[in-house]
Chain A
């Protein structure tokens, strides 16, 4: 069965960086992309971007351009999301999710989420 297992919770100071991992299993990793979505406390879902596990192409949300980098390691079927210059409003649960395709695009499996807390 498809599983996405994320790394554990992080506490960071403002200005620092965080790197969250997402290990995939149960499917051919390079046949799908990985999207990243975050959710601030009590707020809705915010799409951050996605990466093709096939060729490493990325597409980021405009508001995060320059601060976020998404990568993959196909040898371990793991995706990574690094966010730099952290601010207090980056405090959120970060989810990875498998990108699915039809005539459109959506995500069909989600990781369990990783809480990132930014606090001085």
Chain B
């Protein structure tokens, strides 16, 4: 089955840029979606289709996808961005979802 690998943790100072990677075999051929999950809360969609943002999500959140790596970029990081982030792809042949392993973002 398809595997998505994320770094367990990323640390970033306020005001700096956080980059969270999601690795998968030829992931660039798939659409990647990203979710933010704060402690004790349900996940929230922050980026879909590689780089689109749902309404209400700040422009500071952006995404890219090429080759074997997709990336979620958080610019001008704020304390409120501290959360777990998960990537997700859709396997069209099986109509199954695959989630990444998750990355904990810590704001220093």
**Given A59-B95, A59-B96, A113-B42, A103 contacting B31 (CB threshold 8 A):** yes
Interface residue from A44, A102, A110 paired with B49 (Cβ < 8 Å): A102
Any B CB within 8 A of the CB of A117: no
- Contact-size category for B: 20 to 34
Asked whether B97 lies within 8 Å of A102 as measured between CB atoms, the reply is no
Q: Which residue in chain A gives the minimum CB-CB distance to B98?
A: A47
Closest to A99 in B: B97
Closest to A43 in B: B102
List residues 24-70 of chain A with CB under 8 A from any CB of chain B. 35, 37, 44-47, 50, 59, 61-62
A47 and B45 contact, Cβ closer than 8 Å, known pairs A104-B33, A106-B33, A106-B90: no
Smallest beta-carbon distance A8→chain B, Å:
15
Interface centre among A50, A59, A106, A110 (most CB of B within 10 A): A106
* A78 to B86 alpha-carbon distance, docked (Å): 27
Tell me the bound Cα distance from A59 to B33 in angstroms: 20
Asked if B48 and A45 sit within 8 Å, CB to CB, the answer is no
Query: Which residue in chain A gives the minimum CB-CB distance to B44?
Result: A110
Is B61 an interface residue when CB atoms closer than 8 A count as contact? no
| Chain B contacts for A62, CB-based, 8 A | 1
Q: Is the CB of A102 within 8 A of B48?
A: yes
In the bound assembly, the distance between CA atoms of A55 and B88 in angstroms comes to 25
Q: Which residues of A contact B101 (CB under 8 A)?
A: 44
**Chain B nearest Cβ from A110, distance in angstroms:** 4
Whose C-beta in chain A lies nearest to the C-beta of B52?
A: A102
**Any chain B CB within 8 A of the CB of A107?**
yes
Q: Which 6 A-B pairs have the closest CB atoms?
A: A104-B31, A106-B33, A47-B97, A110-B42, A105-B90, A44-B102
